[in-house]
Chain A
Amino acid sequence: QVQLVQSGAEVKKPGASVKVSCKASGYDFANYDINWVRQAPGQGLQWMGWMNPNSANTGYAHQFQGRVSMTRDTSKTTAFMELTGLRSDDTAVYYCAINYFHFPYWGQGSMVAVS
């Protein structure tokens, strides 16, 4: 079955960077874009961007351009999301999700606290 398993919780200082991983299994990793969505405490879902694991092409939401980088390691079927210049309002749960015309599969989420 399709699974997306994300890395564990992180605590970072303001100004630092964080890199969250998303290990995919149960499907052909190269065939479906990986998207990243975050959710601040008590807030809604915020889309961050997408990455095509085959081509490594990316597309980022305007508010994250210049601070976010989405990459992959195809040999390990793992996607990564790195966010730099962390601020307190980056404190959130970060999710990866497969794009198949919508988001049918999600990772369990990775909590990133900036303090």
Chain B
Amino acid sequence: SYDLTQPLSVSVALGQTARITCVGNNIGSKSVHWYQQMSGQAPVVVIYRDTNRPAGIPERFSGSNSGNTATLTISGAQGGDEADYYCQVWDSYSWVFGGGTKLTVL
């Protein structure tokens, strides 16, 4: 099965840039989607197909994907960005999620 590895936690100072990585074998050849999950809420997509931002998602959210690493970047992180973030890909007829990263804004 295909594995996606994310750091358990990332901390960022208020207003600084947070980067959350998602590592998988040749992940650059796949489409990566990113979800934000607030405590007690359903996940919400913040980036789809590597770099696309849905309507209503702030411009400070961006994504990249190359080689073995996909990255979600949050520029100018706000307190309201504190949440769990998950990457997702489709592989061998299955959806795969990363283990999730808890973002803390200091």
Report B's interface with A, CB cutoff 8 A: 1, 31, 33, 35, 37, 42-45, 48-49, 54, 84, 86, 88, 93-100
Residue among B42, B48, B84, B93 making CB contact with A102, cutoff 8 Å: B48
Q: How far is the CB of B72 from chain A (nearest CB, A)?
A: 14
| A45 in contact with B86 (CB, 8 Å) | yes
- Interchain Cβ contacts under 8 Å between A and B, 26 examples: A35-B95, A37-B95, A44-B86, A44-B99, A45-B86, A45-B88, A45-B100, A46-B97, A47-B96, A50-B95, A59-B93, A62-B1, A62-B94, A95-B42, A101-B31, A101-B49, A102-B48, A102-B49, A102-B88, A103-B45, A103-B88, A104-B45, A104-B54, A106-B42, A106-B44, A109-B42
A19 to B89, CA, bound (A): 27
| B86 in contact with A102 (CB, 8 Å) | no
Q: Is the interface of B mostly helix, strand, loop or mixed?
A: strand
Residue among B1, B35, B93 making CB contact with A103, cutoff 8 Å: B35
Residue among A35, A37, A102 making CB contact with B45, cutoff 8 Å: A102
Count of chain A residues near B, Cβ 8 A: 19
Residue among B1, B43, B54, B94 making CB contact with A45, cutoff 8 Å: B43
Q: Which residues of B contact A45 (CB under 8 A)?
A: 35, 37, 43, 86, 88, 97, 100
Cβ of A56 under 8 Å from chain B? no
